[in-house]
Homo-oligomer: A and B are copies of this chain.
Amino acid sequence: MPSSKSCNEQTGLSAQRAAVIAELAIASGPRVVTGHDVRAQHANTLTWIASELPDAVVFAESVDDAVKVVRVAGRHRVPIIAFGSGTSLEGHVNAPFGGISIDMSRMNRIVAVNAADHDAVVEAGVTREQLNDHLRDTGLFFSVDPGAANATLGGMAATRASGTNTVRYGTMRDNVLSLRAVMANGEIITTAGRARKSAAGYDLTHLLIGSEGTLGIIVELSVRLHPRLEAEFAAVCEFPSVSAAATCAMESIQSGCCLSRIELLDDVMLRVTASAGAFPASNCGAALFVSVEGTQRAADEHMQIFACLVTAHGGKVAGIAASQSDRDRIWKARHDAFWSLRNSWPGQAYVVTDVCVPISCLATCIAETTVDATRLGLTAPVLGHVGDGNFHAIAVIDPNDSGARGRLDQFLKNLSTRAIAIGGTCTGEHGIGQGKAYAMPGEFGPALDVMRQIKSALDPMGILNPGKIFPKDAPQDVQGAE
């Protein structure tokens, strides 16, 4: 177990931490930074979770750098927290036991694009926008699109990220073919080749995807690419209520209608999103933003099928965007929805959460969540990737309301419990980090012990991102304690 909590809460570093930093400085030179601002930036949680600063930040520029950091930290039993671009939402990059934040953003080479195989090999610090810019002339694209445009692919793999077009193209789980990672003992492993499928050995690729830097430091990825299709439409569809929109989303999935995206916004999110000017404001109760892709004929056909479902649920197709620029405008507005909310109501605190449920339970789960928010005196507009059964609630909190935090905690716990009770999960895409560790025993029961056994086996000293995923009252890193 990493040594006692929080050198960073003390006025100075422990002798041990100072020795580590000195050793890294000798090995890595100017890439080791101990200034407060850089350390604070690397523990910026974007949420209500308090920042906990690392003792130092190392900017890795090569796999060798990463190995060096892991070996030094391992020798001294000091935590290592992998850092991509710091856009995670559940305290993933916090350093509750201090330690070294290893910033991967300078490892941003696109190693290879194998266009004929529809795959690319990239270093962990490559961002999704960087990769897609690079692919612009190939007719291919990388599909996974979380809210943060500058998210690194390493971070996205580590948190099993997804986004708006997961309903067609899948999450990181479906789009990573192989990972290269530095394990806690400093060994470099490659989890698989580039073949589309394999029946050889344990699936270490998927074990590392979503492990949040607690099992290994991802340094390189082979990812799937998809061909850009001939035609694409985006449409904004208005509904009288969230329930009508959610039910339409459910039925479109159940009918096999081939959508690339289907995003729900409730009335509040629709208004603030419209306020950014991408489309006319409306007073309807909810909206679905959808896109269809395919050959021209297929896109036409599926748009027509979907439009019938919209009408059947009392909605209307308010506008169809066929040009690239119009589509981009709509999807940018959707991606920026959270920031539009913040701009609309400045001075408030915002807590974004997410759950994912079987699609048949979606409409009911959203309705119960809204009722619960009202009961607790919270404003919590809803939006999400409803084609996957995944939705977000954004709780808006008055920072001067001293009782709000308690009510917020209750709201978040109720939401996780509700999702798990109906066969869902406490998080569809944000991950566990620190913020949802409390929900792990309820969701996994005895399977959590299996996760602990794996953690102890692969990181016996508990140096990799300690304090994440596993709830505090039963620490995962009991083996190898100092």
A→B interface (CB under 8 Å): 114, 116-119, 159-162, 166, 171, 173-174, 183, 187-204, 206-207, 209-211, 215, 226-227, 229, 250, 253-256, 294-295, 297-298, 301, 356-360, 388-390, 419-420, 423-432, 436, 439-440, 443-451, 453-458, 469
Q: Decide if B427 touches A199 in the complex (CB within 8 Å).
A: yes
- With both chains docked as a complex, state the minimum distance between the C-beta of A144 and any C-beta of chain B, in angstroms: 11
- With both chains docked as a complex, state the minimum distance between the C-beta of A38 and any C-beta of chain B, in angstroms: 28
Cross-interface CB contact of A428 among B114, B183, B198, B253, cutoff 8 Å: B198
Cross-interface CB contact of A458 among B189, B204, B454, cutoff 8 Å: B454
Q: Decide if B429 touches A199 in the complex (CB within 8 Å).
A: yes
Bound complex: CA A199 to CA B161 (Å): 7
Bound complex: CA A253 to CA B450 (Å): 39
Choose among A159, A197, A295, A458 the residue with the greatest number of B CB atoms under 10 Å from its CB.
Answer: A197
Q: Decide if B359 touches A432 in the complex (CB within 8 Å).
A: no
Q: Decide if A430 touches B199 in the complex (CB within 8 Å).
A: yes
Contact partners of A419 in chain B: CB under 8 A: 195
Q: Decide if A200 touches B446 in the complex (CB within 8 Å).
A: no
Bound complex: CA A210 to CA B389 (Å): 27
Contact partners of A193 in chain B: CB under 8 A: 358, 420, 423-425, 443
- With both chains docked as a complex, state the minimum distance between the C-beta of A409 and any C-beta of chain B, in angstroms: 18
Contacts A/B (CB < 8 Å), 15 sampled: A114-B360, A118-B253, A160-B199, A171-B197, A173-B203, A194-B358, A195-B356, A195-B388, A195-B423, A195-B425, A199-B430, A200-B444, A201-B443, A206-B206, A450-B458
Contact partners of A388 in chain B: CB under 8 A: 195-197
Cross-interface CB contact of A255 among B227, B427, B455, cutoff 8 Å: B227
| Additional A-B contact list (16), CB under 8 Å, known A197-B425, A199-B431, A200-B444 | A162-B197, A187-B449, A189-B447, A189-B450, A193-B423, A195-B358, A195-B419, A196-B389, A199-B210, A200-B210, A200-B443, A201-B448, A201-B469, A202-B455, A203-B207, A297-B297
Q: Decide if A202 touches B454 in the complex (CB within 8 Å).
A: yes
Q: Decide if B196 touches A426 in the complex (CB within 8 Å).
A: no
| Given known A-B contacts A200-B436, A298-B297, A358-B195, A457 and B453 have beta carbons under 8 A apart | yes
Q: Decide if A200 touches B427 in the complex (CB within 8 Å).
A: yes
Q: Decide if B201 touches A451 in the complex (CB within 8 Å).
A: yes
Bound complex: CA A193 to CA B424 (Å): 5
Q: Decide if A432 touches B199 in the complex (CB within 8 Å).
A: yes
| Given known A-B contacts A195-B358, A206-B206, A254 and B201 have beta carbons under 8 A apart | no
Bound complex: CA A299 to CA B431 (Å): 39
Cross-interface CB contact of A447 among B114, B118, B191, cutoff 8 Å: B191
Bound complex: CA A199 to CA B254 (Å): 23
Q: Decide if B297 touches A195 in the complex (CB within 8 Å).
A: no
- With both chains docked as a complex, state the minimum distance between the C-beta of A182 and any C-beta of chain B, in angstroms: 11
Q: Decide if A424 touches B360 in the complex (CB within 8 Å).
A: no
Cross-interface CB contact of A159 among B199, B210, B424, B425, cutoff 8 Å: B199
Bound complex: CA A415 to CA B455 (Å): 36
Contact partners of A360 in chain B: CB under 8 A: 114, 116-117
Closest to A211 in B: B202
Contact partners of A160 in chain B: CB under 8 A: 197-199, 203
Bound complex: CA A209 to CA B207 (Å): 11
Q: Decide if A356 touches B197 in the complex (CB within 8 Å).
A: yes
Q: Decide if B200 touches A431 in the complex (CB within 8 Å).
A: yes
- With both chains docked as a complex, state the minimum distance between the C-beta of A390 and any C-beta of chain B, in angstroms: 6
Closest to A439 in B: B200
Q: Decide if A204 touches B358 in the complex (CB within 8 Å).
A: no
Q: Decide if B298 touches A201 in the complex (CB within 8 Å).
A: no
